Structure 1
Amino acid sequence: MAPPARRHPRPATVTANPPRRRRPAPAVLTAGVVCCLVVAVLAGCGTVGGAGGTEPTPATGPPASPNSGKSPGQAELDRSATRIDEYLRTNFPDHYAGIVVDQPRSTIIVYRRRSAELDAALPALAGGHVRVEPRDAPHSAMDLRKLADRVQADIEYWSTQGVTITSVAVRPDGTAVEVGTRELARARTNLPQRYGAAPLDIIESNPTLLTPG
């Protein structure tokens, strides 16, 4: 009697390109600190600026919906920042310099010249779970805005002097008016001769944002 045939195991099937597991996209955290803050043009850095700065997000309206692109916490920060910005511009123009929204810390940083009355008004303006952090500023946004307006009015004059002014920005921390120019060395020599000891920070900036006239 013949022996039974031996069965050979069937070879395993190997997929040339096995399916890959998709990794979840990393969470992206955005910060509103000017720090900008720049972020900031004309006394506004980050989400909300001071006088003459980036216009704040309107404070009115319902909380952010799931499809609005903003979390409820971020929307609350924006609304609180807007209330503070508008109130201080109107009621404390000699003290208020600007604000910066620090989203990761749920904090609104308020730059101001010291005023006990201003500081006392901040918690009620912020509301909710928003933290407010007052910080000292050497100048108000109103005073720096006057200086910035003067520089802007002189753009045509400076072009005749070989200095191209490309940007003018009031810093939200109340430290200076930032002036951008292509001719850095010449501007740093000539602008103080015209504006004296005014708080100007002259930086090199190539894009032409402002034109004479």
Structure 2
Amino acid sequence: MNAKYHIRTTATVLGAAFCLAVTMAACAAPGGDTAASPEGPTPPAPQPTAASSAPTGRPGQVEAAVLADRVGEYLRQTYPDQYAGISIDGAKLIVYRVPSTTLDGALRTKFPTAPVELRDAAHSARRLEALAQRITDDIDYWTRKGVPITTVAARFDGSAVEIGTTDLQKATAELPERYGPAPLEFTEASPALPLPNATPS
């Protein structure tokens, strides 16, 4: 069975500090990850929200990862209201998008030889990322309310914003009251453990 990889947007929260990063889960192409850190001390390294490793060496995987990066950037720039994300299955790209014949035609014209499978998505990456950022901005608010949030991630398939918390019952009850009928999915997730302090020289 071919391993599957995903390109997703993740906001990982550690206490009041967070790191918003675009990651390719399980397949990191060289130079493919970018991250923005808040000002101030660097937070402890977060545990990944999905398993990640270098390509395993199967033929075509590195090329597929590079192509996925190009396709994702093109669709994000030209069809931000439709594009949701990409997963990689072997050498095949699976593109998730809000149904759009215009996007489909443009993608095939721009990348005529790319092995692409199109799948429907409920929401665009832009919409889910905006919601994820709103929730991330409210971390202090939820901490004061006694609802610890450990991770916030826009799902690559456009289905929802996934929220990790150590209090699943309370988060499930209270977050929809603040964000309304937003596409939220909750998972139980412990905070990342801090790295041990470096030994003084």
Superposition pairs for residues 1-213 of structure 1, below 5 Å? Answer: 31-33=3-5, 37=6, 41-42=9-10, 53-54=22-23, 57=29, 70-103=57-90, 106-128=91-113, 130-208=114-192
Quote the offset at 1:127 in angstroms: 5.0
Check 1:144–1:168 CA distance in 2 against 1; reply closer, same or farther (3 A cut).
same
Task: Answer 1 or 2: higher relative contact order, Cα 8 Å, separation at least 6.
Answer: 2
Gaps of 5+ in 2: 12-20, 33-54, 194-201
Q: Is this contact kept in 1: 2:97–2:121, CA < 8 A?
A: yes
Contact kept? 2:8, 2:85, Cα under 8 Å: no
Task: Find the aligned partners of 1:121 and 1:59 in 2 and give their Cα distance.
Answer: 26
Give the fraction of aligned pairs with identical amino acids, expressed as a percent. Answer: 46
How far 1:121 sits from its partner (Å)?
A: 2.4
Q: CA deviation digits over 1:73-95, x for unaligned, max 9? A: 12221222111101001000000
Take 2:89 and 2:110, find their aligned partners in 1: how far apart are those partners?
17
> Greater share of strand residues, 1 or 2?
2
Task: State the shift of 1:205 in Å.
Answer: 0.6
**Alpha carbons of structure 1 residues 173 and 70: separation in structure 2 relative to 1, 3 Å:** same
TM-score with structure 2 length normalisation? 0.70
How big is the alpha-carbon RMSD for the aligned residues of Structure 1 and Structure 2?
Answer: 2.8
Aligned-pair distance for 1:123?
Answer: 3.0
Distance, in Å, in 1 between the alignment partners of 2:171 and 2:57 is 42
Deviations 1:88-129 (A, max 9, x none): 0100000000000011xx21100001111211122344454x
SS in 2 for 1:121: helix
Q: Which has the larger radius of gyration?
A: 1
Number of equivalences: 160
Shift of 1:58: 5.6
CA distance in 2, matches of 1:134, 1:59: 26
> Residues 59 and 125 of structure 1: is their aligned pair in 2 closer, same or farther, counting only changes over 3 Å?
farther
| Cα separation, 2, equivalents of 1:85 and 1:97 | 9
Q: For structure 1, which runs of at least 5 residues remain unmatched after alignment?
A: 1-28, 44-51, 61-67
Distance 1:165 1:59, change over 3 A: closer
